[in-house]
A = this chain, B = another copy of it.
Amino acid sequence: MVDYRSSLRIEPGREGAGSPQPGHRAPVARRSLSLDEYVEGVRRADRAILGRAITLIESSSDRDQRLAQELLTRLMPHTGGAHRVGITGIPGAGKSTFIETLGCNLTAAGHRVAVLAVDPSSGRSGGSILGDKMRMSRLAADPNAFIRPSPSAGTLGGVARKTRESMLICEAAGFDIVLVETVGVGQSETVVAGMTDFFLALMIAGGGDELQGIKRGLLELVDMLAINKADGDNRSRAESAAREYANAMHFMTPVDPGWTPPVVTCSAIDNVGIDELWRRIEEHRAIVTASGQLAARRKQQLLQWVWTMLEQQLQAMLTGHEQVGRLRLELEQAVLDGRLAPTLAARQLLEAFLTHPPDPPEVTDDPA
């Protein structure tokens, strides 16, 4: 029987978690914190304050966002220390069990592990803190692990920003491994691959038919494919699936020259092959660190992120623009009827936008 109160991590601190004294908890939980309190609380990995800092990041109130961005700016110098690993997996691949087993192995090896999620569908599917933590109750109860459920629904861009910034907060709190999980809705794999050092896809053996359902472009993003549930009578099917995937991987040009994405098998539930899998991930890190590819990848990710947010916000403004919206249906119909050249339609929409430029948005990039 799991103690969800303890898994919620708002009770007094544990050894090594560096939480405040019991006496301080209640007040800390109630009154609003100063920027300095946030900075110091996160830096000493105070779990209550860490949780509140991420809540601040996720808040869409403008006042919270301003404070959140000041906090991030203060913490930035202390970020970048973690090994960032993205993990995706088709439904039924056993992602939660895998992350729980991997996470527990890593904390047992002395690591401090944060688990974040990018799930633009979590609002629709009603993903809840309890749900997320129940799926990983052992890891959730681990003093050296911190599990943060997906931010509540929003645009993928918004969810991605919150997750990226939560990752930085966790790094500033000294977590040396961040696992970013995605359910792979829409473009979320690309987004997670774009914020991590290593991207792992979890698969399971299936009939050839199921393999056809593999998501477009996924094979091109991954640094490793792992066929999970390679246990019992399923073992040989997993092995042959691994060979099939390896064959498909063969057609992909690797993300990092010098690293050909391996296809491995494992059993998360039996904890078989998980350590070996992690050794490969560390091997990749050593290679791309030595070659300078890791530094280059991170720098490129950081600048790409700035520009992506900028373009996303601008496009959100375009989509949500009043005059553009009014014109759009009418012009699109004219184009479909062959009454208007598409280029002219685009130009008229652009004119409508630029002649009524919107105000810069608040940082919260969820125009929904």
Contacts and interface: CB of A to CB of B under 8 A. Distances in A.
A363 interface: yes
A318 interface: yes
A361 to B, nearest CB: 7
B360 A351 contact: yes
A341 interface: yes
Contacts of A233: none
Contacts of A26: none
A39 to B, nearest CB: 13
A341 B251 CA distance: 38
Interface in A124-171: 161, 164-165
Contact of A250 (B164, B208, B345, B350): B208
A291 interface: no
Contact of A79 (B165, B220, B338, B350): B338
A306 interface: yes
Nearest to A312: B346
Contacts of A358: 354
A349 to B, nearest CB: 5
A341 to B, nearest CB: 4
Contacts of A165: 341, 343
8 contacts: A73-B340, A212-B250, A212-B251, A216-B252, A247-B247, A306-B331, A309-B343, A310-B349
